[in-house]
Structure 1
């Protein structure tokens, strides 16, 4: 079923240049937009949004660590283009496919933001879904790789969210350090 669903989605690759270009962007570059969103949250100088940014990054680091150190080597699922003839639109190493690192990162940021900031989290979740779908469309992941990434990201984001009362001293310290640095910068006057 995983491969059949992959075939249905990947079958459309290579038919329309504009769609292919969009999917390549979604598959590779939307993640940079999501990271920029985290930066914007941090630079609002609002403590609650800075904490949201911190917890989103923490969730992403933990989920990616678990995915790359434990899950991926143990499962060692070959990528679709290794086992099948596919419409591969972007180059990729023939390393393990499950779970998708891009999707793990995207969904971790999205789920973490959903717990703390619905508006930003909803936007991030849409971007994460586009990333996951596009990774299948361009031929580098199976749908199961994306579903596994989303499940791992949801679990880690939830665990981090439930532990925030214990973890709050860390982002609060970082916020204080950041504020101290910002307040010590010379103010540039405009004429």
Structure 2
């Protein structure tokens, strides 16, 4: 039970609390790295936004299907994040800072109503990986590396248990992938019409930079 809360909360420390403390003990031994990791755990999400923009830019030189997938990436991330928020409320897992208050914590402890499972940061990262993989495997591979770093930082700063990070990936990847596939199937014709219309400068590269390779 979370102190001061009338809602029973799940204590995830019994699942992998020892692994959590192994990581946070490492954080305690690397205090010189704490500031950078705390900064990166939030600022690092900007990398995924940059990768989305890169996917859109590359898709301008490709066809309607690629552009549809590029536009679907942020939508897929939002859908996956919304699903994670629903699961978070249903599970109601109390944060490690409340279950294990004596662990070394870099991050500040959030409000009691801000539950731990799954990790929202990792959900956004993993969803970006899945959606970008459909569009451009090279960008997807880059996103995978940064998603792994993001997941590790969430445990390092003490914000989440390892199973919160793993669970968010297991949730986000299929949801984001399915969302992108569904949008590709339903919106590609509409995107094609927009590319041939007023939005052509935004959705398609000029003839000088190369015509689309598929329609």
TM above 0.5: yes
Structure 1 residue 179 displacement after superposition: 2.6
Aligned to 2:121: 102
Gaps of 5+ in 2: 1-14, 205-215
Among residues 95, 98, 102, which one is paired with 1:82 in the alignment?
98
Q: 1:174 to 1:124 in 2, by over 3 A?
A: farther
* Structure 2 contact 72–180 (Cα < 8 Å) conserved: yes
How far residue 178 of structure 1 moved from its aligned partner, in angstroms, is: 3.5
Q: How does 1:37-116 map to 2 (within 5 A)?
A: 37-44=51-58, 45-47=60-62, 50-68=67-85, 70-84=86-100, 85-94=102-111, 95-116=114-135
Offset of 1:51 from its aligned partner? 3.2
Provide TM-score, normalisation by structure 2: 0.75
Q: Closer, same or farther in 2 for the Cα pair 1:39/1:5, shift >3 Å? A: same
In 1, are the aligned partners of 2:20 and 2:155 still within 8 Å (CA)?
Answer: yes
1:7-18 equivalences in 2 (<5 Å): 7-18=21-32
**Aligned residues, how many?**
182
Distance 2:156 2:69 in 1: 31
Q: For 1:1-191, what aligned pairs fall within 5 Å after superposition?
A: 1-44=15-58, 45-47=60-62, 50-68=67-85, 70-84=86-100, 85-94=102-111, 95-163=114-182, 164-169=184-189, 171-172=191-192, 178-179=199-200
Question: What RMSD over aligned residues (CA atoms) do the two structures have, in Å?
Answer: 2.4
Q: Distance in 2 between matches of 1:18 and 1:111?
A: 33
Deviation digits for residues 55-89 of structure 1, max 9, x if unmatched? 22121011111111x21111010110011122221
5+ residue gaps, structure 1: 184-191
Distance 1:157 1:34 in 2: 14
Q: Which moved more, 1:74-83 or 1:37-46?
A: 37-46
User: Is this contact kept in 1: 2:45–2:125, CA < 8 A?
Assistant: yes
Larger of the two Rg values belongs to structure: 2
Moved more, 21-30 or 139-148: 21-30
CA contact 2:70–2:135 (8 Å) conserved in 1: no
